[in-house]
Amino acid sequence: MTLSQLRQDARHDWWRGATIYQIYPRSFMDANGDGIGDLPGITARLEHVASLNVDAIWLSPFFTSPMDDFGYDIADYCDVDPMFGTLDDFRALVDRAHELGLRVIIDQVLSHSSDRHAWFQESRQDRTNPKADWYVWADPRPDGTPPNNWMAAFGGPAWTFDARRRQYYLHNFLPSQPDLNFHHPEVREAHLDNLRFWLELGVDGFRFDVVNYYFHDRALTDNPPMPRERVHPGNPQSYQFQRHNIEQPENLAYLERIRALLDEYPGSTTVGEIAGNDQLPTMAAYTQGESRLHMAYTFDLLDSTGDATELYGVLARSSELGEDTWPCWALSNHDVVRSATSWGEQRALLALTVLCSLRGSLCLYQGEELGLPEAELAFEDLQDPFGINLWPEVKGRDGCRTPMVWDESANGGFCAESGAPWLPVDARHLPLAVTRQEADPDSLLNRVRELLKLRGASEVLRQGDQQLIAPGELPEDVFAVLRHDGDKRVLCLAHLGRGTAPATIAPDALVDGIAGWHSLALPGMPVPEMAGRALTLTPGRAAWLELR
């Protein structure tokens, strides 16, 4: 399928209910033997991605960068870092993805750049140059300390002193990631130009990193403290309500500018990452109506462990915010512990089955289709500054970023056996390699393919409405959601208990007006036992009932 065919597709809302496959370029496939994944490597493996029955890929950053934060510190927004390839390699990747019917979403890190970016290099020269106000600069307090109490995500103050300007600059993350000043109109326009550059190259949308971090309070007001019981020990910013450094009202107006640009490219889409203190209301506000983001995600499910009550609570809070919002749910990504570890390795298929039952779009992280658990690394193997700074209490994000395993060779087929991958391959991953699972029709890989095909073929599951079943109406540890579209209804059940006690469920007691039902054939899930008008579900099993 060509780009023009994709953009002429009458269903410009393809993203609604779509499944997006996230690729972390450094760790997907190394085509040139340097131990680091690259764009040609991704292109060579796109057939595997297409075989999963997903709709799109999301590429984490591949732009020019000193890699202090592995691409989330961009030094040139409109070029490819040489370690990943060239712009021609990117064009070839997009062309091949479109041939396979895959749309391409790329990361955009707008809130901050690298301190090596030409914009910042000019800005820090003095207080009068043309880009002097492109970043957030502030004078010290009279005693020389930072302008306020804002904290950085990686620890310490969110301010670093620059001797040349005799001012502090703001960085919500590493000191080498200075925050851009979105109050400056030229900054806003520069980023719209950046987005247009990639749209013209054929991308189908953007994932916006920390999309609620663009604007700051001009008065630099101190953030209030967070109650101690709500502090997350692995996140220094959680000691404060991030009331003034992020989520300013001007953000919404800029999202509308972005949406207007994407509307010029039919079929393109946006997904925003929402971080901060109260994420679900922000997600609702940022995806409200037809003039802001198409969809967004929070860390509420990314931090889940598969507890039925916890899961219901997240979804209930989300539904209370109204139907005029579209979430993009995920259980794993490049920033959190892999879902096969957080939910339990024996429950990897169950986790994805539950994910596929939810209203919204889905994101599948590379290796999740294989059931890869979180890798264990020694301190000397760490690359992530977050883990290095906070070790051993916080191990960082390297455990979910180790190379993809394509075969059972020493480096998992990610790079040549004689080479050294940028992060070591966990030996526990090798028996889960693609080649091993391809040969087994009952493997997780093949069941995930069937599961995503089943969901993709169902308009009820892709785009239908959702009604949650409260825990008080269900046996302990059972999660249930009713999906419906007109007179079509599917009741999705999952026993999330970790014990041995089965649960007896009477669908008539949960949903009114049922004449009957039949159980859809869920991959890897036996048809539940029936006794009259009730069914029995054992722990670790799920059932989807098509109601009549």
Catalytic residues: 209, 264
Q: Which residues contact 474 (CB under 8 A, 6 or more apart)?
A: 308, 480, 503, 505, 510
Peptide bond into 526 cis (omega under 30): no
- How far is it, in rounded angstroms, from Cα 120 to Cα 73? 12
**């663009």: which residue's tokens?**
214
Computed from CA positions of residues 272, 278, 280, 285, in that sequence, does the dihedral angle turn out positive or negative?
Answer: negative
Six-digit token string for 76: 């040139």
Six-digit token string for 50: 């297409």
Three-state secondary structure call for residue 547: strand
Q: Which residues contact 548 (CB under 8 A, 6 or more apart)?
A: 514, 515, 516, 517, 518
- How far is it, in rounded angstroms, from Cα 180 to Cα 166? 18
**Which pairing describes strands 503-505 and 534-537: parallel, antiparallel, or unpaired?**
antiparallel
The DSSP line for 32-91 is SSSSS--HHHHHHTHHHHHHTT-SEEEEPP-EE---TTTTSS-SEEEEE-TTT--HHHHH
* Closest to 241 in 3D by CA, of 217, 205, 211, 265: 217
- How far is it, in rounded angstroms, from Cα 440 to Cα 433? 11
**Which pairing describes strands 76-80 and 63-64: parallel, antiparallel, or unpaired?**
antiparallel
- How far is it, in rounded angstroms, from Cα 37 to Cα 216? 35
Three-state secondary structure call for residue 109: coil
| CA distances from residue 11 to 101, 113, 454 in whole angstroms, order as listed | 14, 35, 20
- How far is it, in rounded angstroms, from Cα 496 to Cα 94? 39
Question: What does residue 183 show for φ and ψ, rounded to 5 degrees?
Answer: -70, -15
Q: What count of residues does the chain have?
A: 548
- Could you tell me which residues are beta bridge partners of residue 146? none
Cβ atoms 27, 414 nearer than 8 A: yes
Computed from CA positions of residues 196, 199, 201, 203, in that sequence, does the dihedral angle turn out positive or negative?
Answer: positive
- How far is it, in rounded angstroms, from Cα 242 to Cα 232? 13
- What is the strand order of the sheet 295-297 is part of? 295-297, 269-273, 205-208, 103-108, 56-59, 19-23, 361-365, 328-330
Catalogue the E-assigned strands of 8-150: 19-23, 56-59, 63-64, 76-80, 103-108, 137-138
Q: Which residues contact 67 (CB under 8 A, 6 or more apart)?
A: 73, 81, 83
Cβ atoms 110, 209 nearer than 8 A: yes
